[in-house]
Amino acid sequence: MKHLWHFLLTAMSTVVWAACSAPESWELTSNDGNIRFRLQHQDGSLSYLVYYDDTMLIVESPLGIMMDSNSYGDNVRFAASSLITKVDHDAGDANQAYQEQTYSFLTTQGELFDVIVRIYNDAVTFRYGFPWKESQMRHIHSESTDFNLPVHAEESSQPFLYEINDYWLLLDGTLSGDTYVPELPWYTPWHSIYIAEDSSYFARDDYKKVLP
């Protein structure tokens, strides 16, 4: 019996350790299958990675914001994810087609918030949403959101444009240190990562997305 209890306790501790250590993850893929956005939830914290084919262009990077002294991104629990929404493009506007998915989480205070991800054939963009039914204004003081690049990324002469292997990344979005006030229905600005195989792509007028 002693050996049986020892076995059971060892097995239970292994399961608990695995549950605490193994991250939950979700992936959203572009229509052409080239770009993958991976959202991770480990030990209560949120992070993300971005791949083009098998090349990691954004290494594990934190997600979350600080609003009115409350953290939305640390010590959170997964609540639900929406069905994937596919939006086709109008004729002659193929780079505006995308897929979108919303991932919902609960804070330790029981407040619900969303991570909304939209993925195109040449870009990934995401933002935070707060589906609350209140009129009180709230202040977002800072973000832990970041764009972590591989160590071999090379910055070009154009701000926020980087070369990684044979790809080019243009980063766009409000990040850490900024203060802004969301309005109902409590959406933050979008954070965008544009991807191309040639830097001249960003000289075009139509590479940026039409975002609400």
DSSP secondary structure string for all residues of 32-67: TS-EEEEEEEETTEEEEEEEETTEEEEEEEE--EEE
- C-alpha angle 79-53-42 in degrees, rounded to nearest 5: 30
- C-alpha angle 24-169-114 in degrees, rounded to nearest 5: 35
Give the DSSP H/E element, type plus range, for residue 27: strand 24-29
Check: CB of residue 149 under 8 Å from CB of residue 58.
yes
pTM: 0.84
Q: pLDDT value at position 165? A: 92
- Does residue 14 lie in a domain region? no
Q: pLDDT value at position 91? A: 56
Q: What is the mean pLDDT of each run of 10 residues along the chain (212 residues)?
A: 42 38 82 95 96 95 89 94 84 76 94 94 92 72 90 92 94 63 73 93 80 71
Q: pLDDT value at position 142? A: 81
- Does residue 4 lie in a domain region? no
- CATH code at position 156: 2.70.98.10
Number of domains in the chain: 1
- Does residue 212 lie in a domain region? no
- Does residue 174 lie in a domain region? yes
Q: pLDDT value at position 46? A: 97
The SS3 assignment for 6 reads: helix
- Does residue 40 lie in a domain region? yes
Between CA 121 and CA 139 the distance in angstroms is 34
- Does residue 47 lie in a domain region? yes
Q: pLDDT value at position 180? A: 59
Residue 29 lies in domain:
24-203
Q: pLDDT value at position 17? A: 34
Question: 174, 191, 183, 189: which is closest to 138 by C-alpha?
Answer: 183
- In 53-190, which ranges are E strands? 55-62, 65-67, 70-72, 77-81, 85-87, 98-106, 112-119, 123-129, 140-143, 154-155, 161-164, 167-172
- Does residue 3 lie in a domain region? no
